[in-house]
């Protein structure tokens, strides 16, 4: 595994000061990484390079802008970099044996690694489209140095079942990758460290890397496909970033159910608006501050939405069942 080092002491100090501000103490940082305080001190003072998996956990605590900043302040060394010079000398003496072993190693890695790879041009499927919708709703993808990260974030108390029983199986089936699911503070995160998924989202589907909330749209490829795939994208979006509520104002004889979806991407809101009109689901679109809000109001219209698009998130399914 690669190890991370900072180019300058000042940037390393700044990085660890921000980490301490979020975790409160060096002991807690050690517990978070599964190591002790002495090891954290070694990383903090630059005595040891940071293993890439531990650095990834630390940088994941930061904001998008902070991630981008520190990703440009680091370099990488191989885990065995201290042995490289001696290895080169040994290679010159035993070149034939080394080359034979290397060829065997390449074949072995290819055979073993197939299950971790996938073709980014895989056919559209309901699972793939639900995943795309979840990323549009509450996710992001980005590249930090040599690390590619895709993450979806939800409510720790309300979304765990959805992450474990819906999103995780989709990732394993579509991409042959088991995501990392963790709970921190009030949130739950599903994370995939994969260059292929980054390329799938950015190169094939055109989803912006990094902060995307103002510019994200439903990909053209999915709009050109059959309606069933667009419905799956909307399902993933409403599962992650949609809401179900009751209006209990006295103006209504009984509580008034509604489904809503809010986005600061005007084009995305208009895409949803156009498709709901196309499949004859009555709704409204209006601007609220700097955001655009889609609402499906009333029991009959909500029933039609559930029938045509529906939810996979168990918390939404339970709430709709209780209210309809």
Residue 112 has a pLDDT of 34
| Domain 126-213 class in CATH | alpha beta
| Domain locations in the chain as residue ranges | 3-77, 81-116, 126-213, 236-323
Query: Does residue 210 contact residue 218 with C-beta atoms inside 8 Å?
Result: no
Q: What is the pTM of this model?
A: 0.68
Residue 161 has a pLDDT of 96
Residue 323 has a pLDDT of 79
Q: Which residues of 129-152 are buried (b: 16+ CB within 10 A; e: fewer)?
A: bbbbbbbbbbbbbbbbbebbbbbb
Number of neighbours of residue 113 by Cβ within 10 angstroms:
9
Taking alpha carbons only, the member of 85, 78, 80, 48 closest to residue 146 is: 78
Task: For domain 236-323, give the fold.
Answer: Endonuclease I-creI (3.10.28)
Q: In this structure, which CATH number among 1.10.3470, 1.10.150, 1.10.101, 1.10.260 belongs to the domain 3-77?
A: 1.10.260
Measured CA to CA, the distance from residue 76 to residue 58 in angstroms comes to 16
Question: CATH topology of 126-213 equal to that of 236-323?
Answer: yes
Residue 159 has a pLDDT of 95
Residue 217 has a pLDDT of 95
Residue 146 has a pLDDT of 81
Residue 97 has a pLDDT of 52
Taking alpha carbons only, the member of 143, 8, 15, 7 closest to residue 75 is: 7
Q: What is the DSSP string of 238-269?
A: HHHHEEEEEE--TTSSS-EEEEEEEES-HHHH
Number of neighbours of residue 186 by Cβ within 10 angstroms:
8
Per-residue pLDDT tens digits of the chain, which is 324 residues long: 578 888 888 889 999 988 888 777 888 888 888 888 888 888 988 888 888 878 888 888 887 678 878 877 888 776 554 444 444 444 455 555 545 544 544 443 343 333 457 889 999 999 999 999 999 999 999 988 788 999 999 999 999 999 999 999 999 999 999 999 998 778 899 999 999 999 999 999 999 998 788 889 999 999 999 999 999 999 999 999 999 988 777 666 677 799 999 999 999 999 999 999 999 999 999 998 888 999 999 999 999 999 999 999 999 999 988 877
Query: Residue 221 is encoded by which pair of tokens?
Result: 């490829």
């Amino acid at each position: 595994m690669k190890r991370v080092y900072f180019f300058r002491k000042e940037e390393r100090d700044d990085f660890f000061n921000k980490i301490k501000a979020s975790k409160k103490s060096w002991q807690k940082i050690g517990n978070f990484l599964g190591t002790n305080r002495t090891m954290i001190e070694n990383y903090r003072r630059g005595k040891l390079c940071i293993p890439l998996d531990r650095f990834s956990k630390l940088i994941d605590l930061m904001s998008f802008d902070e991630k981008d900043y520190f990703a440009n302040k680091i370099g990488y060394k191989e885990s065995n970099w201290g042995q490289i010079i001696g290895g080169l000398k040994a290679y010159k003496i035993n070149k034939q044996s080394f080359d034979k072993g290397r060829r065997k190693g390449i074949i072995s890695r290819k055979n073993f690694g197939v299950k971790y790879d996938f073709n980014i041009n895989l056919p559209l499927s309901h699972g793939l489209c639900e995943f795309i919708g979840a990323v549009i709703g509450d996710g992001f993808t980005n590249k930090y140095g040599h690390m590619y990260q895709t993450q979806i974030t939800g409510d720790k108390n309300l979304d765990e079942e959805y992450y474990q029983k819906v999103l995780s199986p989709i990732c394993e089936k579509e991409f042959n990758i088991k995501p990392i699911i963790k709970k921190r503070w009030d949130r739950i995160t599903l994370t995939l460290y994969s260059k292929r998924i980054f390329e799938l989202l950015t190169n094939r589907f055109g989803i912006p890397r990094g902060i995307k909330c103002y510019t994200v749209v439903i990909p053209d490829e999915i709009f050109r496909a059959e309606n069933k795939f667009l419905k799956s994208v909307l399902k993933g979006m409403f599962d992650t970033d949609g809401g179900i509520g009751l209006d209990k104002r006295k103006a209504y004889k009984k509580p008034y159910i509604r489904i809503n979806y809010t986005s600061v991407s005007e084009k995305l809101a208009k895409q949803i608006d156009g498709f709901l009109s196309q499949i004859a689901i009555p709704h409204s679109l209006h601007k609220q501050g700097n955001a655009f809000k889609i609402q499906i109001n009333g029991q009959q219209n909500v029933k039609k939405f559930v029938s045509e698009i529906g939810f996979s998130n168990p918390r939404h399914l339970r709430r709709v069942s209780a209210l309809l």
